[in-house]
Structure 1
Amino acid sequence: ESESLARQLEWQKSQLTGIEAGLQDSASLQNRLIASQREVESRSSDTQAAIRNINAKLAELSADELQEQVAYWSTRAAVSEQSLADANAKKEERGNEITRLDVRRAELTARLRETETLLNGLDAEKNSLRERESRLHGEIETLRVQIEPAEKDLEAAEREETRLQETEAAAQRSFANAERLYGHVQLEHTRKQEALDNLRQKITDDFGLVMFEYAEDVSGPVPLPLDGMVEQLPVVTELDPKLEEQLTHYRAQIRRMGPINPDAKTEFDTESERYQFMKTQVDDLHKAQADLKHVVAELDELTKQEFSRTFDAVDRQFRETFVRLFGGGSARLALTDPENLVETGIEIEARLPGRREQGLALLSGGERSLTAIALVFALLKVSPTPVCVMDEVDAMLDEANVGRFRDLLMDLSRETQFIIITHNRNTVQAADVIYGITMGRDSASQVISLRLDQVTDDMLKSR
């Protein structure tokens, strides 16, 4: 807000400087006119005195000399009267000019007083803003004093949080190492337990828990009292030759089957549940895929309809705009693949006045530029935008084409605000506001602006 007021104050000061310069010029011109008027009056007085002298001399001369002198001085008197009449007319003209300058000076004086009043108001507002700025600075300093202890506490809390996070990270690393070591130990224990179970099962398979008959004359440890707890096998005096083969076969089958998994049913139920979940997810994905394909098909259809409608509208506007810009001829937009509106391209076919129809590549640079302008204006007519920026689009156009371009630009400016970069004076005449870049005395670029609706006849005459 202060920057805006500063810019406004600077502009008002520049206006005040211009008004004061205009007053000085008016005063100087008025002084020159007054001096000229005085000179005319002096010359008029001298001429009247000369006439009186001539009349006195005429009274002293004879008839012939008098006649000659009368003719001579009559001619001189006529010339003097004409000079006097011219001087009086110039005097009257100077008087009118002085009156107009007085009115102009009064107007400039009024504007000067108004500008001074506005400057005083701006100075007061500027002082108010400065006081407000000082007050805000004081409040900011007060808040800063209140915030500093909290910031220190926050920094200490952040350092403590960082330390605790580092401690937590170290603890998590230690816990992960312990879990990994525990997993290794548990895995080793499982392997040892499985090996022990396999050995126990192998012993059981090889020998079985049976009761042996101990001879009385055999020395050694006394058997354990396992009566009734083990199987009592019959006494076999002769083995079947096929029994050893069957026993080996059965042992091989048991080893191939491996140990019994008591969690097989639980694992089967878990995998079945997971399978049903994954199957449901896959079915949902198939359904979503079908829905997306349906939506894509609908969007493609809508895109085709909207593209066809927009293409037809742009084509109609392009034909009209082309004829208006070129002063005749014809042009149209054509699809490269009318059967595939999603991937089709667009070509421009133009026929200039007095020439045959041809593609855009065969036109000259200015003709291509004007055709492109016609297409852009057609798009703006179909779908107007708030702002349109054009960079030297009229650089390759001649004066006649620039005139038609300017007229069409003024028609479209009712709906769209145009920002045009141009060096063409005819295009500049259509602008409401002109911005120019110039180099100042310090060799720095300066921006100057002018609103054409604020330019008065007096400003044009003064220039």
Structure 2
Amino acid sequence: MATLAGEFVSTEGILFGGSSEVRAASLLERKAQIAELAKEEAALAKQRDSLCTKRDEAKTAVEVALQLQREFSEAERKIDNLRSEKNALEGQVGAADERVAKLDGELQTVRDQLAREQTELDAFEAAQSETTLREEELSEKINQLRLAVATERQRHENLVARREPMRARDAELFELITVRKGDIALYEQKLAPQADESRKSEVLIKNHSTQREEAQANAAKIAEQRTTRFAAISARETELRDLRDSLGELQDRRAQRQVRESQLQMKIDGVAEHISRSYHVDLREFAVDEPAFQKVLRIQAKRWIDRYTDATNGDEGADSPSRSENAIQLAEADLEKLVADLRTQLDNMGPVNLDAVHEYDELEERYKFLEAQNTDLTNSRRELLDVIAQINSTTRKLFDETFAQVRTNFREMFAELFGGGRADLSLLDENDPLNCGIEITAKPPGKQLQSISLLSGGERSMVAVALLFAIYMVRPSPFCILDEVDAAMDEGNINRFIRMLERFVEQSQFIIITHNKRTIAKADVLYGVTMEERGVSRLVGMKLTPSVQASPEVTSNGGEQKPRQQRLALAMR
């Protein structure tokens, strides 16, 4: 390297200099200096490369050290957990040892109890041998003692039978203690029910003895009742035989009457078929209406008499039928003539419409169906109106509760955003809250109470934000999208708006479209849309966190925006 004084220092540290006078360097000196400088530049480049390599190695070593540090911390945490588990297991083992000692004591107690019961059994057997000597005098007492001895023997056998499983259980306990000491609690739960079963068995034996004595007494009573009932059954059987004889006679009579009824039915069917062929009348459905018959007979007889009088030119002889206002009398021959005349008229009328009854039945059935449908629709309409009224009542109740909460929250949010003032929500028609509108009145600090339409753009934005967060406090949502709500706000209002976002950012995610730098500075993730080439828009994403290096994500789509135009989507969480 060269100094300002004209001296030259080589890489070996040798100083080259001339006279103190300043003179112009020659061309050869300059070439030599250039060559030396080139060598020094190459040496410095090598040193720089070696330093860069060492820097990369140092970074790798730091990362490896950090990884080892994390693994060491994880290993220490696992060691602490294993120590805690070891202490807990040692405590469980100690508790299990204490429980084993307790079970040994209880087992020894049970063994002592078995020895006492064996002694009592020997005493009972001696007492039994003594009672056999006095069998003739105390037979009833001997029977009771035998029953007691049998009971005790059964009890002894049960105890002996239980002793072997208890010994096996003891051996199993010793084996299982070495394998799994944690199962001792389960065996403790099983030993307690066995003791309860022993006590319950003794109580049940005593109860069964008492029940057997009561059953014997009841058996004697039942035997007496059986004898009495057998006598009653014999008497009833005698009555039953008499009733069966009477039933046979009645069945014979019924058979005779059924034969007679069949004969009469055949005759009736023949007459009905004849009438059906002749008059097209079904006698099975025909009901005699005597007043109507007499009325029709009088009318037809009157007409026939009129025709008879016209035919005889008004001459009324002795054999002519009598006619009066109250009664019309016809001889048998005249009745036959009337019937023949009516039969001729029926034949002239032609066949009867036999489908009229069927058509009437169909119309009547359709009328009943339509009537049932009308009733069903009326009931359904009434039920729907009741349901609608209930839904309206429930909806109105829920709306009133929610509106009251939103109203209270809106007052608090307004005062917090504006630093004072007051605001309120009111219904335009309180009688119909579900269909009416809502009026917002606001009074910022230093202004009169007025409608929201008279406020400035920034104030209206702040009122909208206050209402939004008031509703958000009642019905929170996992996501919230805000589109340039801070466009008309000044710096002070933007600061309050950001503080409000920070209040709710812990419970929801906010996606904000904004151009304001202060709002963008509070974001965790930033997305911008730009157009580097005409007709091709690009989306650039960036994480605004200190610990993570910004890495843009670029996607392309078609668009007709101006070059370099940007629109930022602010995502806060």
Smaller-chain TM-score bracket: 0.3 to 0.5
Larger Rg over CA atoms: 2
TM, length-normalised to structure 2: 0.37
TM, length-normalised to structure 1: 0.46
